[in-house]
């Protein structure tokens, strides 16, 4: 399902909605995106995705946007354009990384960090920041609830 009001241009960040999380890719033209994937995302092995996350490795792939998106909703989301100027050599850097295995960490080096590093020169993940704030809020509420009934 195409969620674009206008077609993406090379260098645009693509946010793909996958239920509990968003996957991110960078559009490089001709219907292609570059993104990081866990090695197990190419297989149907049940527990191997968890093992890939624990091994802290991801592969940079260039694929058709439609193949990456499948039936998920997606949109152009150049999330940090108001804060940072996009870099001039986004596409060259992205293309040079295709096929590379990179360090991966869900909280500090995920797919959103990868694309924001390419576009802006700074790795950031708003979904990690939001998740962290929600988790912290939940823990504080539980602690207050516990303290209320303990004292």
**111-121 residue pLDDT tens:** 999 999 999 99
pLDDT of residue 136: 43
Q: Mean pLDDT of all residues in the chain?
A: 81
pTM score? 0.77
CATH of 13-123, one of 2.60.200.20, 3.30.360.10, 3.90.1720.10, 3.40.50.720: 3.90.1720.10
Q: Chain-centre distance of CA 79, in angstroms?
A: 12
Which portions of the chain are predicted below pLDDT 50?
1, 43-53, 131-151
How far is residue 34's CA from residue 11's CA, in Å, rounded to a whole number? 10
Residues with catalytic function: 23, 35, 111
Parse the chain into domains and list their residue ranges.
13-123
- Which of 123, 138, 128, 103 is closest to 21 using CA atoms? 128
Q: How far apart are CA 16 and CA 72, in angstroms?
A: 7
Dist CA 4 CA 32 (whole Å): 15
Distance CA 14, CA 96 (A): 19
The torsion angles phi and psi of 17, rounded to 5 degrees, stand at -90, 115
Q: Which two tokens stand for residue 55?
A: 């091994």
> What local confidence, expressed as pLDDT, does residue 106 receive?
83
Stated length of the chain: 151
């Amino acid at each position: 399902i195409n969620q674009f009001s206008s077609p993406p241009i090379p260098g645009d960040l693509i946010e793909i909605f996958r239920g509990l999380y968003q996957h991110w890719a960078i559009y490089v033209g001709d219907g292609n995106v570059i993104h990081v994937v866990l090695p197990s995302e190419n297989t149907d092995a049940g527990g191997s995705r968890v093992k890939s996350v624990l091994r802290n490795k991801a592969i940079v792939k260039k694929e058709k946007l439609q193949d990456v998106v499948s039936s998920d909703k997606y949109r152009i989301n150049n999330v940090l354009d108001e804060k940072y100027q996009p870099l001039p050599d986004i596409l060259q850097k992205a293309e040079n990384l295709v096929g590379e295995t990179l360090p991966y960490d869900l909280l500090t080096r995920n797919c959103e960090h990868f694309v924001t590093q390419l576009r802006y020169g700074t790795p950031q993940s708003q979904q990690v920041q939001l998740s962290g704030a929600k988790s912290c809020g939940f823990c504080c509420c539980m602690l207050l609830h516990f303290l209320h009934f303990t004292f």
